[in-house]
Structure formats: structure tokens, C-alpha cells
């Protein structure tokens, strides 16, 4: 489906990963005048210089299409080259059905995405603290610049979920980005956090025109409430907790009890009426495990499958396990005997070689002597 201005999430990701907030960019003629009439803009001026902090604010809060173009041209040299970067990043994030042709979401039939792919992009972006702060900002004013001497460019967020003064304010909302074109209709990638769980909701194609803009916010609230009321984010296991105690083969009597630990936490989204006891893990332990074992070494893995999603972590040794002293002694003796056996074989081989050489010399000597005698008798005759 067409993503409209939710496209700007990816534009912001690349801006944050390729520039500092204090870096500057200059507004080109193209950046301003390729934005179609009726699309949002920040009233940027030709040859105006702005910082990336300013550009990102107007990109994400009022959804300024001219700001997106400025960012694209500054980072990649052209909007087309920037779109190529966007597509590369989308593939890196696991998006399989997304294709960008511009940085702002201005309608194009070859510019499309899916709800799932936009959720992946939104999730990735929300890992950036600067991005999180930007998309939760309600109001922003562009300061005086080299080409604009007033502070009347004041903008309100297009995301009513984060605005306490709007009719669709949601107390748990944390972002992210709205969008609208005639073809895409009303779109939003929204996020909300309650307790230790944060959800992302994506709605595309809501309502037949911009006047039904409220529908997407109401639907987000309905979906978020459903998620928070019916699911919980629970910890299946914690890093360094003991999974079980085992006795490896050949372990010394002092260190025979090995604590098998979880290497990392496993956190999963589960239904409220599910207890952790309902989930049976799949466990794989090294069948050839024997002492000595170093603390922290990976000795297996454990997996939980919930609603078709597999959660996995390694199992590690909780302490050093020493080999049994008897076993060590037997092993050393066996190695010495083996070494002596090899040495004996080598010496036998050498001795056989020497005997062969001696035999060969004697044989040659006899033959020579025999020929001389024969010649002598023959000559005498």
C-alpha cells in the first residue's frame, strides 16, 4: 500500500545515522519547488541554512516535505540517490515488500510498503533516543535564520495521540508519524508504552478523505487498549539464573556439580491468562560434555516457541569444572605408554633398515668374490 508521509520515518533514520544534529544543510530551488501544491511544507527559503536538528523537527512534527528534500539532497546528492539508500536500509531491517522513490512520501505508484514493514522501520527508529524525543514533541518554532528574520514559523504535531489538547490524546502514546495522500488515504505508524511493554500500531488506508483523519487515531486507541488489556510482556528466564545442575563426565569430586545458566534474558509477549508454566522449553545440551569445562563456555541452548515466534538463548557453564585427578593420571600414563610404543616402532623400523643394508652389502661382496674366482679358473684353464 502507499505509505504517504510515514515514509519520513526512514528519512529521519538516515539523517540521524549520517549527520550530527549540529551539521547544517542549505535549501535548494529543487527542494522547495518539486513539492506539489497542497502538500505540507515548512516555508523554507531558497539558500536558507538550517541545522539537522531544525530540519528533523519540521520533518517529523508538521511533516514538511521540503525539509525531506533538503535532507535527501544534502546526504546523497539527489533525491534519487537517497531513495536508493532508503531501499538498502529497508532490506537490512527485513522489509521484503517496500520500495521508496522519494524521501517524503509524495505519491508515486512505485513508492509502496506494507503495515508489517512500516512496523519494522518504526521499531528500529524508536531505538534511537533522539528520534523518540522528536516524535513525542507537540510544538516547535523555527528560529531566525540567514534567510528568514522572523519566528512566526510555528508548527504543531500532526499526531493527535501525543497532543494533550487534542480529542484523540492517548496517555500512553510515545509517537510516531502520520501520513495522508488522496491515493494512500489516512496512514499512521503509532507507538504507546504502558508499564514494561511498548506496542507499535500501523494503520493504512483509513477513511476516504482527509476529513476522516480522526478514524486512524480512534482505531489506534482501540488496538492499543486491546493489546494492553490482553497481553503482557513477561520474562521467561533471566540471564545468569540457574536452569539446572548437572554432573559432567570425568569431573573431579570437588567440582562435579555444574550450574547450567541462561546466557541472556528471554522476554516474550504472552496472553494475560497464560502462565510461564504453560510453556515447555526445547533444550539442547552438549552430549559429549566432559571435564575440564571453563566458566562461561557455551554448553547448549534453550528455546521457547510462543504464538509461532521462537525465543532462544545459550546455556553456559556457571563455574570451572576440573577433570578428575584419577582420570588425569590414567590419561597421562596412557599418553606416556603410547609415546613409548611409537618410539619403539620407530626404533624397530630404523634397526630393520640397518639390517637390510648390512645384508645387501654382504650379498654384493659374495657375488663379487664369486665372479673373480670364476674368471681365474677360466683363465687358468
CATH code, 223: 3.40.710.10
- Does 66 share its domain with 117? yes
d(CA 216, CA 177): 12
Residue 106 has pLDDT above 80, yes or no: yes
Evaluate whether residue 365 is within a structural domain: no
The verdict on 340 and 311 lying in the same domain is no
pLDDT in tens, 27-73: 999 999 999 999 999 999 999 999 999 999 999 999 999 999 999 99
- CA dist 342 → 38, 109, 328, 347 (Å): 90, 77, 21, 9
The torsion angles phi and psi of 246, rounded to 5 degrees, stand at -130, 165
Query: Which domain covers residue 170, as residue numbers?
Result: 4-231
Question: 243 and 216 in one domain?
Answer: no
Q: Is residue 323 in a domain? A: no
Question: What is the pLDDT averaged over residues 331-347?
Answer: 84
- Would you say residue 312 lies in a domain? yes
Q: Which of 231, 264, 284 is the last residue of a domain?
A: 231
Q: What is the average per-residue pLDDT within 260-279?
A: 87
Predicted confidence at residue 274, as pLDDT, reads 78
The terminus-to-terminus CA distance of the chain in angstroms comes to 119
On whether residue 334 sits in a domain, the answer given is yes
Radius of gyration of the chain measured on its C-alpha atoms: 38
pLDDT tens by residue, 219-259: 999 999 999 999 998 888 999 999 999 999 989 888 889 99
Do residues 271 and 158 share a domain?
Answer: no
Structurally, the chain folds into a number of domains equal to: 3
Report how far residue 218's alpha carbon sits from residue 215's, in angstroms, rounded to the nearest whole number: 5
**CB-side exposure of 118: number of CA atoms within 13 Å?**
30
Q: For residue 305, is it within any domain?
A: yes
For the residues 191-202, what does the mean pLDDT come to? 96
How far, in Å, are 60, 72, 82, 135 from residue 44 at the CA level?
15, 15, 20, 20
What b-and-e string marks burial along 48-62, b requiring 16 or more CB atoms within 10 Å of the CB?
A: bebbbebbbbbbbbb
Is residue 373 situated within a structural domain? no
Domain shared by 20 and 110, yes or no: yes
Mean residue pLDDT of the chain comes to 91
Positions annotated as catalytic residues are 5, 8, 63
Instruction: Tell me, yes or no, whether 381 lies in a domain.
Output: no
Amino acid at each position: 500500500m502507499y505509505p504517504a508521509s510515514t515514509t519520513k520515518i526512514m528519512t529521519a533514520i538516515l539523517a540521524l545515522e549520517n549527520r550530527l544534529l549540529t551539521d547544517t544543510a542549505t535549501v535548494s530551488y529543487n527542494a522547495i519547488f518539486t513539492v506539489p501544491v497542497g502538500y505540507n511544507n515548512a516555508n523554507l527559503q531558497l539558500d536558507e541554512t538550517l541545522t539537522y536538528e531544525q530540519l528533523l523537527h519540521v520533518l517529523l512534527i508538521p511533516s514538511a516535505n521540503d525539509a525531506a528534500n533538503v535532507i535527501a539532497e544534502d546526504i546523497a546528492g539527489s533525491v534519487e540517490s537517497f531513495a536508493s539508500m532508503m531501499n538498502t536500509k529497508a532490506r537490512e531491517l527485513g522489509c521484503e515488500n517496500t520500495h521508496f522513490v522519494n524521501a517524503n512520501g509524495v505519491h508515486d505508484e512505485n513508492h509502496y510498503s506494507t503495515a508489517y514493514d512500516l512496523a519494522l522501520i518504526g521499531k528500529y527508529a524508536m531505538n534511537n533516543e533522539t528520534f523518540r524525543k522528536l516524535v513525542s514533541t507537540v510544538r516547535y518554532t523555527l528560529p531566525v535564520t540567514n534567510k528568514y528574520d522572523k519566528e512566526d514559523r510555528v508548527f504543531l504535531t500532526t499526531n493527535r495521540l501525543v497532543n494533550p489538547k487534542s480529542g484523540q490524546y492517548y496517555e500512553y502514546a510515545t509517537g510516531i508519524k502520520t501520513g495522508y495522500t488522496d491515493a494512500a488515504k489516512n496512514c499512521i505508524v503509532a507507538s504507546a508504552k504502558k508499564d514494561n511493554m511498548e506496542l507499535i500500531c500501523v494503520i493504512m488506508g483509513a477513511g476516504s478523505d482527509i476529513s476522516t483523519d480522526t478514524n486512524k487515531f480512534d482505531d489506534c486507541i482501540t488496538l492499543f487498549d486491546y493489546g494492553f488489556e490482553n497481553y503482557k510482556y513477561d520474562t521467561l528466564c533471566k540471564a545468569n539464573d540457574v536452569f539446572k545442575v548437572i554432573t559432567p563426565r570425568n569431573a573431579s569430586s570437588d567440582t562435579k556439580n555444574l550450574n547450567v545458566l541462561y546466557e541472556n534474558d528471554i522476554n516474550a509477549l504472552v496472553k494475560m491468562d497464560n502462565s510461564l508454566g504453560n510453556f515447555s522449553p526445547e533444550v539442547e545440551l552438549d552430549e559429549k560434555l566432559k571435564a575440564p569445562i571453563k566458566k562461561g563456555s557455551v554448553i547448549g541452548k534453550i528455546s521457547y516457541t510462543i504464538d509461532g515466534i521462537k525465543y532462544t538463548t545459550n546455556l553456559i557453564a556457571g563455574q570451572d569444572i576440573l577433570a578428575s585427578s584419577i582420570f588425569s593420571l590414567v590419561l597421562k600414563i596412557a599418553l606416556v605408554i603410547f609415546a613409548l610404543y611409537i618410539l619403539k616402532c620407530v626404533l624397530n623400523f630404523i634397526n630393520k633398515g640397518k639390517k637390510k643394508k648390512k645384508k645387501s652389502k654382504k650379498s654384493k661382496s659374495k657375488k663379487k668374490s664369486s665372479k673373480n674366482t670364476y674368471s681365474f679358473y677360466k683363465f687358468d684353464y
